[in-house]
Amino acid sequence: MNNPIPARLAALRAAMQLHGVAAVMVPSADPHLSEYLPEHWQARAWLSGFTGSAGTLIVSREHAGLWTDSRYFSQAEQQLAGSGVTLMKQRVAHAAEHLEWLLQHLHEGDVLAVAGDSLALTTQRQIERRLAETGASLRTDLDLPGAVWADRPALPQAPVVAHDPAYAGVSRADKFARLRKAMHKLGATHHLLSSLDDIAWLTNLRGSDVECNPVFLAHLLVQADGRAILFVNRAKLSDALVASLATDGIGIADYASVTSTLHELGAADRLLLDSGRVVSAIAAAIAPAVHRIEAANPSTAFKAIKNAAELAHIREVMRRDGAALVRGFRRLEQRLAAGMTLTELDVDTLLYEERSAQPGYVGESFATIAGYQANGALPHYRATPESHSALQARGLLLIDSGGQYQGGTTDITRVLALGETTSEQRRDATLVMKGMIALSRARFPKGASGPQLDALARAPLWASGMDYGHGTGHGVGYFLNVHEGPHGIRPPVAGGALVALEPGMISSIEPGLYKPGRHGIRHENLAVVVEAEQTEFGEFHAFETLTLCPFDRRALEPSLLNPEERAWLDDYHAGVRAALSPLLEDADLEWLNRHCAPL
């Protein structure tokens, strides 16, 4: 089969020559700066052949490079082979990041083109400042990838529905009232939102325009006077839903009309917007006379802190999700023991069958990662019908999966020993477990942030000269995106924001270790920040583990765990057994009891 990428790059370069453009940058982004994109905005994948969720393509007259991080190096090498696109490794010593590479290769009078509907306003400003050093300039009014993408997919048309009031917890009216108080404090008469999870959370609506994320394409303009405009395809909403929104002062306008509405604002208007969450094409439509207030969307912080009702639903979802996993893992183990032929694809099928039988289940929260042996060393591996491995009764299987439920979002990783394992595999799995336990047991002062805690999970690996190339934890939405800000647990970055971990915030705890060609380890639970104690030194917080599913102790070397670590693991398994036993019976209950027995 001929590779279509060289012809697509040739068409793009012809368009570049026509418009006098020296280079085109194609980010992984859409007009909402989403992590996961509808097909309509997957131009980077279409032009390069690389399908990972993170990466930036730059095409010049002589060179095409795809910048991505270590999670995707192996995948990118495979997908870029024979395409004419070179893998450019990010965050690697002595390798230029994509903006630095541009500064080295663009000269006085050169033009860089980036589609304005895929570029954050803050990023546009940063690029313009840096290009000025070389005399080059930026154009955001040219979408050259779109111009050569003849069969570009249409925008998604999935219906928008109300989040079941039994689970939504807080009414739409109360959320908007809280938002308007924040607007008043900032002196804003209007507030523009383009981030889809903020909009879904505020409006208590859900959709399916983005795979695995229950959001819908929309912009939202909130006014301080009690009115708001939801810019969305009207055909996606029922008449009853439109009427319900109207009772809360929310009118409907066409999705594309957000720019014309912004242009109509006047000198008396004060518009609040998050310049890191609004694209330059939208910002360019704001009338020059409008006073801009640039600050983080207040709703981003609001939705990160789950209230008592939401946490109650999440805890029940964790029980149901954990029981489904136990059934799935038990069936997998039984079939392997019976000598049945199974592949990584069958793992996905088994887990879907069990989760979909649970009450309130809506769908996956992300595409299941089932990586056997060496495939587990690819952090974002995804088995496909064209490329997958058969399972055998030996070695390790890494399974990272999650579900979307009306009452919450789950994300869990377990490493299963399918049979005989090596001492290296057991040691590695135990070192990662030691890091997970250390962070799960942590006590930290009020105001502490994720980057301040990240080293707790890495220290056991560092002591053995090892590390992993991804963050240790990300926020998780409430029946929303599985990756949610503003908080996270990751190594400190110079100039990076330190967001305090506050009670009610949910984070994953997921240290890992990856040895290409051999095996990968990742243990992951979700945990919520809770108040711990008040001492003479102030308030302290801790993590309450939410995820309920046994770890496979056959993959561990218990002798490497100290008494406190063994006690934590035994206590965790005792809690799992108590929570899940009422939901299981017969062979599934026996499997649970066996895997939750004390070390």
As a whole number of angstroms, the distance between CA 396 and CA 287 comes to: 58
Range 370-374 contact pairs with CB under 8 angstroms and sequence separation of 24 or more: 370/344, 370/345, 370/397, 370/398, 370/399, 370/401, 371/344, 371/397, 371/398, 371/520, 372/344, 372/396, 372/397, 372/398, 372/418, 373/397, 373/518, 373/519, 374/516, 374/517, 374/518, 374/519
Is the Cβ–Cβ distance between 189 and 269 less than 8 Å?
A: yes
Same domain, 531 and 444: yes
Residue 519 in domain: yes
> What's the rounded Cα separation, in Å, for the pair 171 and 165?
8
- Residue 65 three-state SS: strand
Q: Kindly state whether residue 220 falls inside one of the protein's structural domains.
A: yes
154, part of any domain: no
| Residue whose structure tokens are 């495979």 | 78
What does the alpha-carbon distance between residue 421 and residue 176 come to, in Å, rounded to a whole number?
54
How many CB atoms within 10 Å of residue 469?
Answer: 14
Q: Which of 148, 180, 206 is the last residue of a domain?
A: 148
Enumerate the β-bridge partners of residue 595.
none
Residue 244 sits in the same domain as residue 281: yes
Q: 231 to each of 185, 278, 354, how far by Cα in Å?
A: 25, 14, 37
Residue 505, judged by CB atoms within 10 A of its CB (0-12, 13-18, 19+), counts as: buried
Within a 10 A sphere around the Cβ of 107, how many other Cβ atoms? 10
Q: Per the domain annotation, does 371 fall within a domain? A: yes
Residue 1 has a pLDDT of: 59
Token digits for 543? 């993590």
Q: Which of 304, 329, 356 lies at the terminal end of a domain, its last residue? A: 304
Cis? peptide before 511, omega within 30° of 0:
no
Residue type, 572: Y
* 471 is a domain residue: yes
**Are 409 and 294 in the same domain?**
no
Using CA atoms, how far apart are residues 383 and 375, in angstroms rounded to an integer?
9
d(CA 475, CA 106): 38
* Cα–Cα distance, 218 to 252 (Å, whole number): 10
Max CA distance (Å), the chain: 74
Quick one: pLDDT at residue 91?
83
**Contact present, 562 and 599 (Cβ < 8 Å):** no
The tokens for 342 are 């199974």
The domain tally of the chain equals: 3
Q: Residues 526, 429: one domain?
A: yes
For residue 189, what is the DSSP state?
A: S
Closest by Cα among 63, 70, 10, 51 to 470: 70
CATH number of the domain residue 110 falls in = 3.40.350.10
178 token code pair:
């809280």
Could you tell me if 129 and 168 lie in one domain?
no
Are residues 136 and 169 part of one domain?
Answer: no
Phi/psi at 445 (nearest 5 deg)? -70, 150
* Three-state secondary structure call for residue 71: helix
403 and 535 housed in the same domain? yes
Q: Are 213 and 482 in contact (CB under 8 A)?
A: yes
Q: Residue ranges of the alpha helices (H) in 248-279?
A: 258-263
Q: Are 486 and 301 in contact (CB under 8 A)?
A: yes
State the Cα–Cα distance between residues 525 and 508, nearest whole angstrom.
6
**Shared-domain flag, residues 438 and 582:** yes
Query: Does residue 599 lie within any of the structural domains?
Result: no
CA-to-CA distance for 370 and 413, rounded, in angstroms? 10
Q: Angle, nearest 10°, between helix axes 450-462 and 423-440?
A: 150
For residue 483, give both structure tokens: 């990756």
CA atoms within 13 A on the CB side of 121: 19
User: Which ranges constitute the DSSP H helices of 49-89?
Assistant: 73-80
Residues 90 and 236 in one domain: no
Residues 6+ apart with CB under 8 A from 242: 234, 252
Question: Where does residue 395 fall: left (phi above 0), alpha (psi -120 to 50 degrees), or beta otherwise?
Answer: left
Nearest C-alpha neighbor of 510 from the set 560, 457, 563: 457
- Give a yes or no: residue 167 inside a domain: yes
Residue 401 buriedness (CB in 10 A; 0-12 / 13-18 / 19+): buried
Q: Provide the residue-wise pLDDT of the chain in tens; the chain has 599 residues.
A: 589 999 999 999 999 999 999 999 999 999 999 999 999 999 999 999 999 889 999 999 999 999 998 888 888 898 999 999 999 998 887 788 999 999 999 999 999 999 999 999 999 999 999 999 999 999 999 999 999 999 999 999 999 999 999 999 899 999 999 999 999 999 999 999 999 999 999 999 999 999 999 999 999 999 999 999 999 999 999 999 999 999 999 999 999 999 999 999 999 999 999 999 999 999 999 999 999 999 999 999 999 999 999 999 999 999 999 999 999 999 999 999 999 999 999 999 999 999 999 999 999 999 999 999 999 998 888 888 888 999 999 999 999 999 999 999 999 999 999 999 999 999 999 999 999 999 999 999 999 999 999 999 999 999 999 999 899 999 999 999 999 999 999 999 888 889 999 999 999 999 999 999 999 999 999 999 999 999 999 999 999 999 999 999 999 999 999 999 999 999 999 999 999 999 999 999 999 999 999 99
What is the domain range of residue 438?
308-593
Q: Round to whole Å and give the CA distance between 280 and 301.
A: 23
CA-closest candidate to residue 523, choices 569, 484, 579: 569
Q: What is the SS3 assignment for 503-571? A: CCEEEEECCEEEECCCEEEECEEEEEEEEEEEECCEEEEEEEECCCCCCCHHHCCHHHCCHHHHHHHHH
Chain centroid to CA 590: how far? 35
Check whether residue 33 and residue 108 sit in a common domain: yes
Same domain for 177 and 132: no
| Number of helical H runs and strand E runs in the chain | 19, 28
Cα 576 to Cα 186, 528, 569, 580, 593, distances in angstroms: 45, 16, 10, 6, 10
Q: Within this chain, do residues 202 and 127 fall inside the same structural domain, yes or no?
A: no
DSSP β-bridge partners for residue 26: 57
Spell 82-98 as b/e; 16+ CB within 10 A means b: ebbbebbbbeeeeebeb
CA distance 347 to 330: 11
How far apart CA 562 and CA 217 sit, in angstroms, is 50
Where a domain ends, among 304, 335, 355? 304
**DSSP 8-state secondary structure symbol assigned to residue 256:** G
Q: Which structure tokens are listed for 560? A: 């490497």
The C-alpha angle with vertex 172 and arms to 171 and 176, in degrees rounded to 5, equals 120
What CATH number has the domain bearing residue 379? 3.90.230.10
